[in-house]
Amino acid sequence: MELTYLQPNYLWLLCIVPFLILTHFYGLKYSHKKALKFANFEALARVTGGSKLSLNLPLLFLRFSTLFFLIFALSGPILWYEGQGSNANFLIAIDNSGSMLGNDFQPNRMEAAKSAATQLVNNVPEDATVGLMTFAGTPLVKQTLTADREIVRQKIAELKIDFSSGTAVGDGIIAGTNLLLQRPEGRVLVLLTDGQSNVGTLLPQAINYANEYKVTVHTIGVATPEGGSFTGVGTLSKLDEDGMKLIAANTGGKFYKAQTNEQLAMAYRDIAFTSTRKLPVQLAFWLIMLCFTTLSIEWVFVNTKFRSIP
């Protein structure tokens, strides 16, 4: 389990706690001076319950607790844990660089990836949302997260190769993470590429960004050991397997090495039916409830046991 904060800057408000404690004891000192004006100390002792004035420590504890709960509620705490969950939001990120024309898949890597991605859309849970993006030199959002499966299938069918320079896998992870932030939980990025990241954000930086926002990244490498020629010039493109393993292993995902069309389809199906994922518990509501509880208890004490002497 891990605790994160949507607005961690609010935690700086905890610095006012010492001021609250000083204010409390200064108020007690002022009340003590005021009480000394009574001439009948025996009567004062009967009213206060003793010869010494109380430090009102229960009130201090209640006020501190109220402030503590309020500050942490404002910071937006989220408790993350791994468990079984049906709620999920899948973002399919497909490399559409020129290397995806490699002919080691039939008819090529791109068309095989499109066919397999369609199967994932067909197999995800009914209450899941699905989005689509591509990345070559620059990530492009093709479809934001939606429950409309038909729209996503159409967008997949329309995907084409982008012959811009390079393959920006790191930029694709960052852009996909930003798109998944639309949903509070079950963020799953399915990244398909031949793995040759050569421009844009470095993979370690992209991995840290995905982890910061609790995005699980599954990686699918599409390439045979021999590689495949593309763009009609006989150039070979081979899978950067180490890079794909690095991404998956450090974001809680899985790495799939697909060397045939059938293995590619099986990878997408496995991801679609995986129910173990990072799940959040929003704590702000419960902290607000605790805040109101301590305020109510303090109000009762102030008007009963710790009621001020006129």
Q: Which of 98-107, 231-240, 263-272 tops mean pLDDT?
A: 263-272
Does residue 173 carry a pLDDT above 90?
yes
The two structure tokens encoding residue 214 = 């609790």
Distance (Å, rounded) from C-alpha 190 to C-alpha 138? 17
Asked, for residue 293, whether it belongs to a domain, the answer is yes
Range in 8-22, 116-130, 234-248 with the lowest mean pLDDT? 234-248
Which residues span the domain enclosing 72? Answer: 2-76+283-302
Phi and psi at residue 269, to the nearest 5°: -65, -40
Alpha-carbon dihedral angle through residues 177, 182, 188, 191, given to the nearest 10 degrees: -40
Given this model, what pLDDT does residue 289 score? 93
Asked, for residue 40, whether it belongs to a domain, the answer is yes
Asked, for residue 136, whether it belongs to a domain, the answer is yes
Closest CA to 218 of 187, 240, 196: 187
Given this model, what pLDDT does residue 176 score? 94
Asked, for residue 101, whether it belongs to a domain, the answer is yes
Distance (Å, rounded) from C-alpha 126 to C-alpha 191? 21
- Give the single-character DSSP code of 185: S
> Based on the domain organization, do 98 and 154 belong to the same domain?
yes
- Give the single-character DSSP code of 9: G
Does residue 81 carry a pLDDT above 90?
no
> Based on the domain organization, do 146 and 250 belong to the same domain?
yes
Residue 261 CA, distance from chain mean position? 32
Task: Convert the pLDDT of each residue in 46-72 to its tens digit.
Answer: 555 544 445 567 777 888 888 889 999
Asked, for residue 308, whether it belongs to a domain, the answer is no
Domain with 191 in it: what CATH number?
Answer: 3.40.50.410
> Based on the domain organization, do 50 and 91 belong to the same domain?
no
Across the range 148-166, mean pLDDT stands at 87
Label residue 141 by pLDDT band (50, 70, 90): very high
> Based on the domain organization, do 9 and 115 belong to the same domain?
no
Number of structural domains found in the chain = 2
Asked, for residue 310, whether it belongs to a domain, the answer is no
Owner of token pair 């421009």: 199
Asked, for residue 309, whether it belongs to a domain, the answer is no
> Based on the domain organization, do 37 and 172 belong to the same domain?
no
> Based on the domain organization, do 260 and 134 belong to the same domain?
yes
Indicate the average pLDDT of the chain: 79
Task: Convert the pLDDT of each residue in 181-235 to its tens digit.
Answer: 988 778 899 999 876 667 778 888 898 899 888 888 999 988 766 655 555 545 5
> Based on the domain organization, do 234 and 131 belong to the same domain?
yes
Distance (Å, rounded) from C-alpha 295 to C-alpha 285? 16
Sign of the alpha-carbon torsion through 288, 293, 296, 302:
negative
111 strand-pairing partners: none
**How much of the chain is helix, strand and coil, in % rounded to 5?**
45, 20, 30
> Based on the domain organization, do 71 and 220 belong to the same domain?
no
Given this model, what pLDDT does residue 132 score? 96
> Based on the domain organization, do 16 and 128 belong to the same domain?
no
Angle at 231 between CA 230 and CA 237, to 5 degrees: 30
Closest CA to 105 of 222, 199, 185: 222
Does residue 245 carry a pLDDT above 50?
yes
Task: Convert the pLDDT of each residue in 89-126 to its tens digit.
Answer: 999 999 888 878 878 788 888 898 899 899 889 888 88
Q: Which residue has the higher pLDDT, 145 or 243?
A: 145
Task: Return all residues near 14 (Cβ < 8 A) that are at least 6 apart.
Answer: 68, 71
The two structure tokens encoding residue 112 = 């095989």
Asked, for residue 17, whether it belongs to a domain, the answer is yes
> Based on the domain organization, do 174 and 194 belong to the same domain?
yes
Given this model, what pLDDT does residue 133 score? 95
Please tell me whether residue 77 adopts helix, strand or coil conformation: strand
The two structure tokens encoding residue 61 = 């504890």
Does residue 276 carry a pLDDT above 90?
no
> Based on the domain organization, do 63 and 167 belong to the same domain?
no
Element (H, E) at 34: helix 17-35
Task: Return all residues near 285 (Cβ < 8 A) that are at least 6 apart.
Answer: none
Q: Are 190 and 156 in contact (CB under 8 A)?
A: no
> Based on the domain organization, do 68 and 112 belong to the same domain?
no
